Each structure stands twice: as structure tokens, then as C-alpha cells.
């Protein structure tokens, strides 16, 4: 989950309406909204729009719950911190690790780590955490026990044997957050427990909590305390887009329409950085003809202008996606150099028509006809309310219309969209795939072990793709702990992704970081991309160690 990319999606209709009203009024009546920071917030306190009330907060700091307060993910710390930009592993509670063979992982726990109540964090806590996840599978969100066979803790050494040769299990197991045994052991059911008074090991501990706002205070006993320059974090429940613009937030994570004229115009020190976090593409259902035919998929890919789709869908903030399956430029060093144009497939209408003709289709200049002679029409499924996806589909509809293919748009509610994709009840869907962990991205999408026929549900490989070559590469990668070999297999997977087109990459979904550099400096940027500006997950743990107060003496 730590490696999961958040993608450009608008959630509520009303949010859109209010924002539309803002920009309309801002431009039409030259009424400029400016931020008015609260003067009582000191220079050592950061205002974070990281947790949205619904509309109020319930005190749930169980880090394994889907409905937890966002800050629960930084009150507790993982063994390994994973960079959501490129999947880089950074030692966190585990100071080092080793994979002696593809079926074993040995982690060494850091010394001198302490819980917020002063109790030292030891191997017993790690042991307890994993046993608890085993006993309460509802808490095992990353599925660690789907991969672990045995786990032995001896002092600071955690020795794990995996069920099968499975070297990519390291990030899945490493992202597990550790909870204190002495406080959790007495809890009857940790999978329903709210943990209202959290005691973690993170650089911040819970300060005050009300239904509309909570604060975190710096934990002086943290193992990295010398790198933490911020005293307090404030998380208000009121973090609608208008609040972000007007209330003087230091850090926010949101996709804001027309960011130049909203966020940037509100304050001179406001900045944004939108690196790619995932690939938005067309996900054909490979169990539905004619999408099982690679020539049809290639025809679709060639008929589409990814740059134009990105421009229309993401207002030009994101680039067209590479058909290598990688996030560029984040994962530039993993890219197979033999791919033409860094894997980007440009629009070539003539070649598209040729590909369709190779698949038996005919094009008479106005209508594309299937081998049976019927006009070629199909439906693209997207989720209702994800406005950027809808704009992307409309652009796809327009571009395919130009070569005589009629596309219908089917936009069920998000829950129904998920159900349709899981059960294979669709022809082509807009979806997000890939992400920071390049291998995981390929294997979730292309591995035959996740294949289920239409009608049965699966969360992985919802496109129902089957390829002996992909399976062989995935198995080989899992059985390898050699970096050179892994890199060579990743190159082969990219080439397969590029030629066999399991999904048709359109554009990158962004990580929508907004920050203000007046009071705090050291933010990650395109020049220094050390972490994304996510306010959720473990990501802020690293960012918070790098930020510095701009005005020291004023405090």
C-alpha cells in the first residue's frame, strides 16, 4: 500500500461545483481569493490539509484500519520506508536487511528506538505485530502472511522464510508498521479496536483531539529527533479546496483545477509539484473479443494521441504515459534503453488503420467494420464522478471516432465500477495501473496466477490477461536476488508491455502536492525528488525529517 500511487480523481460533485464557482467568480468578476493565515499559528507549527472530516473526525488511530485517521500512518513507523515515486527502499525501523536466497529475508532492527511512553521498541514488538497480523487477517492489509511461511525473532534479528522463492516480498513485508506489544497485547480484538489514545514510535505523538481538528507534537525521544525541526502539526477537518486556498495551509495534497489561478494566486509563496504516481490507461478485457487480438489493441494505441488526452484530462499538468509501464522520469534508471522513444507510442492514424486491417477489420473512410462486417463499436467503462477520467474517455471517443470507431461511455458509480472490473463485466475500462514498484505493477496486471474467468472476481489482473512469456519472466524475477538479473528481466517485461499492450497507456496520474515555502523550507521538488508530497501513508515520515523552519529566532 505504501507504494500505491494516488491518482487524479475528483471525488465530489459539490467540491467541483464550489471550485467552479470560485474560478468563475475569480476570473469573471476579477475577484481574487487570497489566503488569510491564522496569526495565532506560530512559526514552529505546520498546518496540514492531510485528513478530511466527514465532516467530523472519529478518533480511530488503528494503523491497520481503512478508516483510520491519516496521521496514524506517521504515529507508527514501518520497518522499511518505501518511496512512492520510484519504489526505493529506505532503512527505517529496520536498519538493514539481507536476502541470502530468494526464499529468505533477514532484517536487523534499529537500536535505540523508543515508544512515545518511553518503553524501548524491541524485537518482541516486531514478533507481536506479525503474530497479531497472522491471528487477525483483517489487519493484514498488505497481505504479509500470504507470503510468509515462518518468522523467527532473535534479539534484533528478524529471520523470515517465505512460502516460495519470492524476492519481491521484501517491500510487501517491510512496509508493515510495528505496534507496541505492551499496549496491544491486552486488546481482545485488534481488528475492531479504535486505539483512541495511540502510543507509537513516530517522530510525532498525538497532542489534542477534537471532532474538527487534531494536533501532533514533536516526540523528543525519537531516534531521528535531531532532524525534526517542526514542533507541532495541525490537522483541521475543514480542508475543502476553498479552505486550502484561503486558510494559509503549509502543506496540502489535492488536485485543484487551474492550480495557477487558484492555489498559486492565493499566496506568493505557494508552490506545487505533480510528479507521476501511476498510469491511467485503457484496460481492455482480454476475455472479450476482439480485445484479445493484439493487432486490435495496437490499432487502438496507434489511433490515440496520448499527449492530447493528457492535455484534455489533466489540464496539461501531466505527460503522456510511456508504454514501458514505468513512471517517467521517476524510474528512468529502470528503463530499457532499447525501447524507441522511451516507450512512448505516438499517434499514427495510417499505421492504426493498417493494424486493424491486419486483424481482419475493414475501413472505408467513414466506418471501421469488424471481420463480420458490422460497424465496430464498443463501450468504455469509467467511474462516475472521476471527472478527469471522463474527460480522457471523451477525448478517446473523439479520436477513435475520427477513424470510424464508435465508442459508448458507461459511467456507473465507483462501487459498481469496481464490481464490474473485478468480475470482468466490461469491454474496455479506464483504469490506473503500475506505480512505484515496477515489478509489482507488472505482476499485478499480467500474472496468470491471478487469472479468473469472467464472472469470478479478482482484484489483480482484472484485465484477464494470459501470457506464457509474462508468467515465465515473473517466476524468474521472483526467484532472483541478483540485481543485474532482475534489471534484465524488468527490461524484458517492459518490452512485452510495449509490444503486447496488455493495457494501453494514456497519461500519468499525478501526485498532487501543494506546499507553501514561506514558513518551512526543504520541500521535495522536481530538482530534488526525494519523496512525493503525499500527506497520507508513511510518506510524510521522510519529508518531515527534511523540512526546516524558515524563521528560527521568531519562535
Partner 1 sequence: MRYFLQRGGWFALTLWAAITLNFLLPRMMPGSPADAAIAKLSQNGPVTEETRRAVEAQLGVPDGSLIQQYVDYLRQILSLDFGVSYAFYPEPVSGLVAQALPYTLVLVGLVTIASFVIGTLLGVLAAWRRGTWMDALPTVGGSFLTTFPYFWTSLLLLFFLGYVAHLFPTFGAFSATTQPGLDWGTVVDAVYHAALPATTMLITSLGGWVLGMRNAMITTLGEDHVTFAEANGIPGRTVALKYAARNAILPNLTGFGMALGGVVGGSILVEQVFGYPGIGFLLFNAVTGQDYPLMQAIFLMITVSVLVANLLVDILYGILDPRTRR
220 to 249, contacts with partner 1 by CB under 8 A? 236-238, 240, 242-243, 246
Of 450 and 530, the one with the shorter C-beta distance to partner 1 is 450
Beta carbon of residue 140, minimum distance to partner 1 (angstroms, whole number): 6
User: Is residue 194 a contact point for partner 1 (CB under 8 A)?
Assistant: yes
Residues 330-369 that bind partner 1 (CB under 8 A): none
**191 in contact with partner 1 (CB under 8 A):** yes
The candidate with the shortest Cα–Cα distance to 433, out of 506, 349, 540, 337, is: 506
Give least dist CB 501 to partner 1, A. Answer: 18
DSSP 452: -
Residue 89 pairs with which residues in a beta bridge? 82
Task: In angstroms, give the least distance from the CB of 52 to partner 1.
Answer: 10
Complex with partner 1: residue 212 or 225, whichever CB lies closer: 212
Stretch that binds partner 1, among 160-168, 210-218, 297-305, 388-396 (CB under 8 A): 210-218
Contact call for residues 339 and 367 (beta carbons, < 8 A): no
Q: Which residues from 244-283 bind partner 1, rule CB under 8 A?
A: 246, 277-278
Q: What sign for the dihedral angle of Cα 451, 452, 454, 456? A: negative
DSSP state of 397: H
With DSSP H G I counted as helix, E B as strand and the rest as coil, what are the percentages for the chain, rounded to 5?
30, 20, 50
Please state the closest distance from residue 223 (CB atom) to partner 1, in A: 27
Residue range at the interface with partner 1 (CB under 8 A); choices 3-11, 110-118, 365-373, 515-523? 3-11
Q: What secondary structure does DSSP assign to 33-58, as a single string?
A: ------TTS-TTEEEEE----SSS--
From CA 536, how far away is CA 551, in angstroms rounded?
26
- Is residue 299 classed as helix, strand or coil in its secondary structure? helix
Choice between 141 and 406, CB closer to partner 1:
141
Residues numbered 127-156 forming contacts with partner 1, rule: CB under 8 A: 137-143, 146
Nearest alpha-carbon partner for 321 in 309, 337, 333, 312: 309
Q: What are phi and psi of 456, to 5 degrees?
A: -95, 155
DSSP code, position 342? G
Tell me the C-alpha distance between 537 and 1, whole Å. 8
Give the contact letters, 449-488, x = binds to partner 1 (CB under 8 A), - = no: -x-------xxx----------------------------
What residues between 95 and 124 interact with partner 1 by CB under 8 A?
A: none
Instruction: Please choose, out of 107-115, 294-302, 394-402, 418-426, the segment that lies near partner 1 by the rule CB under 8 A.
Output: 418-426
Is the Cβ of residue 24 or residue 225 nearer to partner 1 in the bound state? 24
Binding letters toward partner 1, positions 170-189, x by CB under 8 A:
--------------------
* Among 6-14, 71-79, 148-156, 494-502, the segment contacting partner 1 (CB under 8 A): 6-14
Determine if 168 is a binding residue for partner 1 (CB under 8 A): no
Q: Distances from the Cα of 519 to the Cαs of 185, 516, 523, 548, in angstroms? A: 41, 7, 11, 8
**Smallest separation (angstroms) from partner 1 to the CB of 277:** 7
With binding defined as CB under 8 A, does residue 495 bind partner 1?
A: no
Q: Is 409 in the site for partner 1 (CB under 8 A)?
A: no
Length of the chain, in residues? 555
Residue 459 Cβ, how far from partner 1 at the closest point, in Å?
Answer: 4
Rounded to the nearest whole angstrom, what is the least distance from the CB of residue 404 to partner 1 in the complex? 32
Number of residues binding to partner 1, judged by CB under 8 A: 74
Q: How far is the CB of 545 from partner 1 (least distance, A)?
A: 22
Span 37-66, contacts to partner 1 by CB under 8 A? 53-56, 58, 60, 65-66
Stretch of 21-29, 89-97, 394-402, 497-505 contacting partner 1, by CB under 8 A: 21-29
DSSP 77-146: -BSEEE-TTT--EEESSEEEEE-SSTTEEEEEEPSS-B-TTSPBP-HHHHHHHHHHHHH-GGG-TT-GGG
Question: What is the rounded CA–CA span in Å between residue 99 and residue 104?
Answer: 6
Residue ranges in 378-397 that form contacts with partner 1 under rule CB under 8 A? 383
216's enclosing H/E stretch is: strand 213-218
- Tell me which residues in 534-553 interact with partner 1 (CB under 8 A): 536-537
User: What is d(CA 457, CA 450) in angstroms, rounded to the nearest whole number?
Assistant: 10
Which residues between 435 and 454 bind partner 1 (CB under 8 A)?
435, 441, 444, 450
Q: How far is the CB of 366 from partner 1 (least distance, A)?
A: 36
**DSSP secondary structure letters along 343-394:** G-----HHHHHHHHHHTT-EE-SS-EE-TTS-B-EEEEE--TT-HHHHHHHH
- 21 binds partner 1, rule: CB under 8 A: yes
Which range binds partner 1 by CB under 8 A, 209-217, 290-298, 374-382, 486-494?
209-217
Amino acid at each position: 500500500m505504501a507504494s500505491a500511487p494516488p491518482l487524479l480523481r475528483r471525488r465530489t460533485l459539490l467540491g467541483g461545483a464550489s471550485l467552479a464557482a470560485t474560478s468563475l467568480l475569480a476570473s469573471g468578476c476579477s475577484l481574487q481569493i487570497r489566503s488569510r493565515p491564522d496569526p495565532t499559528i506560530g512559526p514552529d507549527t505546520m498546518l496540514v490539509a492531510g485528513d478530511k472530516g466527514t465532516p467530523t473526525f472519529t478518533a480511530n488511530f488503528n494503523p491497520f484500519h481503512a478508516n483510520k485517521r491519516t496521521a496514524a500512518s506517521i504515529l507508527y513507523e514501518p520497518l522499511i520506508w518505501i518511496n512512492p515515486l520510484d519504489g526505493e527502499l529506505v532503512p527505517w525501523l529496520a536498519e538493514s536487511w539481507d536476502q541470502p536466497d530468494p526464499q529468505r529475508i533477514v532484517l536487523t532492527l534499529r537500536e535505540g528506538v523508543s515508544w512515545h511512553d518511553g518503553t524501548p521498541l524491541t524485537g518482541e514488538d516486531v514478533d507481536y505485530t506479525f503474530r497479531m497480523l497472522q491471528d487477525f487477517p483483517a489487519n493484514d492489509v498488505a497481505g504479509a502472511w500470504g507470503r510468509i511461511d515462518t518468522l523467527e525473532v532473535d534479539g534484533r534479528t528478524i529471520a523470515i522464510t517465505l512460502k516460495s522463492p519470492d524476492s519481491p516480498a521484501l517491500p510487501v513485508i517491510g512496509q508493515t508498521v510495528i505496534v507496541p506489544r505492551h499496549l496491544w497485547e491486552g486488546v481482545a480484538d485488534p481488528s475492531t479496536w479504535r486505539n483512541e489514545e495511540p502510543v507509537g514510535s513516530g517522530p510525532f505523538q498525538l497532542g489534542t483531539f477534537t471532532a474538527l481538528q487534531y494536533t501532533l507534537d514533536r516526540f523528543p525521544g525519537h531516534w531521528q529527533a535531531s532532524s525534526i525541526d517542526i514542533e507541532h502539526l495541525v490537522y483541521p477537518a475543514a480542508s475543502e479546496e476553498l479552505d486550502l486556498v484561503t486558510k494559509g495551509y503549509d502543506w496540502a495534497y489535492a488536485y485543484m483545477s487551474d492550480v495557477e489561478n487558484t492555489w498559486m494566486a492565493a499566496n506568493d509563496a505557494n508552490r506545487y509539484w505533480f510528479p507521476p504516481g501511476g498510469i491511467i490507461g485503457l484496460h481492455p478485457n482480454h476475455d472479450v473479443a476482439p480485445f484479445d487480438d493484439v493487432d486490435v489493441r495496437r490499432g487502438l494505441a496507434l489511433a490515440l494521441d496520448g499527449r492530447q488526452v493528457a492535455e484534455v484530462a489533466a489540464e496539461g499538468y501531466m505527460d503522456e504515459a510511456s508504454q514501458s509501464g514505468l513512471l517517467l522520469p521517476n524510474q528512468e534508471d529502470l528503463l530499457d534503453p532499447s525501447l524507441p522513444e522511451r516507450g512512448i507510442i505516438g499517434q499514427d492514424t495510417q499505421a492504426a488503420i493498417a493494424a486493424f486491417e491486419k486483424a481482419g477489420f475493414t475501413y472505408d473512410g467513414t466506418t471501421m467494420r469488424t471481420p463480420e462486417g458490422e460497424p465496430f463499436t464498443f463501450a468504455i467503462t469509467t467511474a462516475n464522478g472521476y471527472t478527469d477520467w471522463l474527460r480522457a474517455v471523451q477525448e478517446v471517443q473523439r479520436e477513435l471516432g475520427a477513424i470510424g470507431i464508435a465508442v459508448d461511455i458507461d459511467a456507473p458509480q465507483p462501487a459498481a465500477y469496481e464490481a464490474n472490473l473485478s468480475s470482468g463485466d466490461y469491454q474496455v475500462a479506464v483504469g490506473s495501473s503500475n506505480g512505484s514498484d515496477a515489478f509489482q505493477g507488472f505482476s499485478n496486471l499480467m500474472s496468470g496466477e491471478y487469472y479468473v474467468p469472467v464472472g469470478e472476481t479478482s482484484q489483480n489482473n482484472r484485465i484477464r490477461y494470459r501470457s506464457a512469456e509474462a508468467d515465465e519472466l515473473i517466476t524468474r524475477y521472483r526467484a532472483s536476488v541478483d540485481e543485474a538479473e532482475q534489471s534484465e528481466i524488468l527490461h524484458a517485461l517492459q518490452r512485452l508491455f510495449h509490444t503486447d499492450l496488455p493495457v494501453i497507456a494514456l497519461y500519468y496520474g499525478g501526485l498532487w502536492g501543494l506546499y507553501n515555502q514561506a514558513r518551512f523550507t526543504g520541500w521535495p521538488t522536481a530538482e530534488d525528488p526525494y519523496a512525493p508530497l503525499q500527506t497520507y501513508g508513511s510518506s510524510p515520515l521522510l519529508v518531515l525529517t527534511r523540512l526546516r523552519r524558515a524563521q528560527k529566532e521568531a519562535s
